[in-house]
Amino acid sequence: MLNIGKLLQEYLEEVIQDFPGLFLVNIEHQAGSKKYSIILDGEEGLSIQNCGRISRKISAKIDENLEIEAMEDPFVFEVSSPGAEKPLVLPRQYKKHIGREMQILTKDEKTIHAKLSEWSESKIKVVPLKKSTVKGRRDKELEAIEIDFDQIIESKVIISFK
């Protein structure tokens, strides 16, 4: 039986070579669903135009595959970025968020509100922020700390409209 997820990943690996700086975060598929979501990110972000280009190139490869054409149960796929509300999954996703505020949950059950200051393949350096009790004042920056990626359960970028 044809594994659609693996096939989409193979096609993506070929297609993405034309888009330097982009990388696969995940291919999501709910059991029983016909929809596959290819989640991509990039060091400079991911434009909607590139999502469309990649989608069309993958579709062309699917159209050439006679085994897929013979399938009785069709499927759909979409190409998108992770979205602002999604946690960061891969270490290389952190690089483009240097200077931004984050909420980090660590394995020792600590939740750290901090500004990302540095990134490497194995860890991040953050400046924890202490909430100001005076309205209108900036949060106080504490001493920078390093956190290894293997100690992070979840990190989310805090979206600010200031």
Please name the residues in contact with 112: beta carbons below 8 A apart, sequence gap of 6 or more.
Answer: 102, 103, 104, 105, 106, 126, 128, 145, 147
At 143, list the tokens.
């001493």
pLDDT reported for residue 83? 85
Residue 139 CB neighbours (<10 A): 15
pLDDT reported for residue 158? 92
pLDDT reported for residue 1? 60
CATH superfamily of 4-80: RimP-like superfamily, N-terminal (3.30.300.70)
CATH of 91-157, one of 1.10.1060.10, 3.90.1150.10, 3.40.50.620, 2.30.30.100: 2.30.30.100
pLDDT tens digit string along 74-101?
899 999 999 888 999 999 999 999 999 9
Domains of the chain, residue spans: 4-80, 91-157
To the question of pTM greater than 0.85 for the whole model, the response is no
pLDDT reported for residue 162? 64
pLDDT tens digit string along 135-153?
777 778 889 999 999 999 9
pLDDT reported for residue 80? 95
pLDDT reported for residue 26? 94
**Which stretches of the chain drop beneath a pLDDT of 70?**
1, 162
Helices and strands in the chain, H and E counts: 3, 9
